Structure 1
Amino acid sequence: MDHRIHQVPKHAVHFPTSIPSKQKQPSITFREVLNEQHPLKISKHASERIRERNIDIPEKLWHTIGEKVNEARQKGVTDSLVVLNNASLLISAKNNTVVTAMDRGENDSRIFTNINGTILIDE
């Protein structure tokens, strides 16, 4: 057994001369992250109405509706009316859920209550 001490070559270790300061990141809440990750839910009632009334909403338009509902929610809207070219949707912005759907023919004689925001979308 060799009890001699062997010299190990020194390795250069570089330490930063200054500690980087924390950059301010835009604050985003956990709820906002969840809302951005989850698309609109469609209630059973709304799903039936969309099917019965042959309302066709392409995926890209659903994405746009979801973005606008998120914007409305950030402005304090809890229940919104989304008016499209061919239909209207009542959406709970608070729950991110489509509550019901009507085609434009039905809109003429309808009164919308319990909404506190309207979103107009041109397709």
Structure 2
Amino acid sequence: MLIKGVHIVPEPVIQNTCTTKTTSPGKQIESFQDYLSQSLTDAKQVKLSAHAKQRMIERNIVLNQTDWHKINNAINKAENKGARNSLLIHGELALIVSVKNRTVISAMDEVSMKEHVFTNIDSAVIIK
């Protein structure tokens, strides 16, 4: 097709011939549905901001897989209620979380929480 001296070539149709994709050692995705499911699962994972990572290191806060699972469930509950920024209380630990981004913004232990005022939150979730 020629339009005012510019030659436009239609884009070729490319078929996806890839049937499997390796995502991690020993794990393969065999269909688009599996790939989509894995991508959605990955998108639902809790992330840590650089600030939160630094605070956790400074305050010697260590969370195990069960703790992260509970935190993920708490974020899901906050999300279902329409929360944007939540305070999560988990034992003697307080986490400020961006619900939309599923990101822990800050982390405080019991000592750091004393006389602390939490601002810019619209909800709180107590994790048991």
Give 1:38 shift: 2.8
Larger radius of gyration: 1
Give 5+ residue unaligned stretches, structure 2: 1-35
Match of 1:39 in 2: 45
Deviations 1:62-110 (A, max 9, x none): 0111011012111100100011112110000011000011111111210
Within 2, Cα distance between the matches of 1:84 and 1:68?
10
Instruction: Supply the RMSD in Å over aligned alpha carbons.
Output: 1.9
Within 1, Cα distance between the matches of 2:45 and 2:102?
8
Give 5+ residue unaligned stretches, structure 1: 1-29
User: Larger relative CO (CA 8 A, sep 6+): 1 or 2?
Assistant: 1
Q: Which has the higher strand share?
A: 2
Match of 1:93 in 2: 99
Equivalent pairs: percent with the same residue?
A: 36
What is the number of residues matched between the two proteins? Answer: 91
Runs of 4+ deviating beyond 2 Å = 33-38
Match of 1:68 among 74, 77, 83: 74
Match of 2:21 in 1: none
Match of 1:80 in 2: 86
